[in-house]
Amino acid sequence: MSSDSPDRGEPRVLLTAAQIDEIIARLAAAMSARYPDGAVLIGVLRGSVPFLADLVRAMTVPVSVDFMAITPYTPDSGRVRLLKDLDLDIAGRDAVIVEDIVDTGLSTAFLRSELERRRPRSVAVCTLLDRRVRRVVPVEIDFAGAEVSDSFVIGFGLDHEGRYRNLRLIAAADMELLAADPDAYVPVLYGSGD
Ligand code: IMP
Ligand code: MG
């Protein structure tokens, strides 16, 4: 069993809000240093939104923001498809794909090849979380936040059936528990309200 696996019934906090802030400050500094003339940051909907919002505000160079959406890879579909394309033209510009987590790498590899066809000056990948143990296709990651092991994670953009995205922390979830009840962690993670 991996060290960050959840305890029964209690999600295990992997990253506190303060730790996430520190990671984002480090990534923003590295990206600001790499792109003194700015870059186009491309958020992958919807999981990257909280991360992207904090990242751009911590960067100290001019950035543009755009979004893409894709269908997740499933064994049935056998491929990833584009659901929402960029509005901006990235030809000749430095583009950075911003992801919540790179897991199998299939989404990121697909997005990178899509973007490369548009003749940008460069394409880089920035991800808050990197789960290398699950990689199916190799992906070069230029800016990586934290590495996580095999457990499913929720919070700070990462969801289970649309829930938990707005948590300030990131926790490892017990998938058996969530499969039985997707709201299982709502009381403990959102409190009782008093
Ligand atoms: P990949 O194509 O397998 O690398 O992963 C693509 C997407 O799957 C990520 O951008 C996430 O939206 C989602 N994902 C992968 N692992 C997790 C997780 O542990 N929690 C929530 N979403 C995840
Ligand atoms: Mg995602």
Q: Is 10 domain-assigned?
A: no
Q: Is 69 domain-assigned?
A: yes
pLDDT score, position 84? 96
Instruction: Specify the pTM.
Output: 0.94
* Helix, strand and coil percent figures for the chain, each rounded to 5: 25, 30, 45
Instruction: Pick the atom of ligand 1 nearest to 44's CA.
Output: 10
Quick check: helix, strand or coil at residue 193?
coil
Q: What is the CATH number of the domain that holds 101?
A: 3.40.50.2020
Instruction: Pick the atom of ligand 1 nearest to 159's CA.
Output: 21
pLDDT score, position 194? 55
pLDDT, mean of each 10-residue run, the chain (194 residues): 60 97 98 98 98 98 98 79 96 98 96 97 98 96 96 97 97 96 95 63
Residue type, 41: L
| Strand ranges (E), 9-91 | 12-15, 39-44, 63-70, 82-84
For ligand 1, pick from 101, 137, 154 the residue to mutate: most ligand atoms within 8 Å of CB: 101
Active site residues: 103
Quick check: helix, strand or coil at residue 157?
coil
Q: Is 11 domain-assigned?
A: no
pLDDT score, position 161? 96
What is the domain extent for residue 34?
A: 18-156
Q: How many domains does the chain have?
A: 1
Distance from the CA of 168 to the center of ligand 1, in angstroms?
Answer: 18
pLDDT score, position 3? 53
Q: Is 24 domain-assigned?
A: yes
For ligand 1, pick from 79, 83, 103 the residue to mutate: most ligand atoms within 8 Å of CB: 103
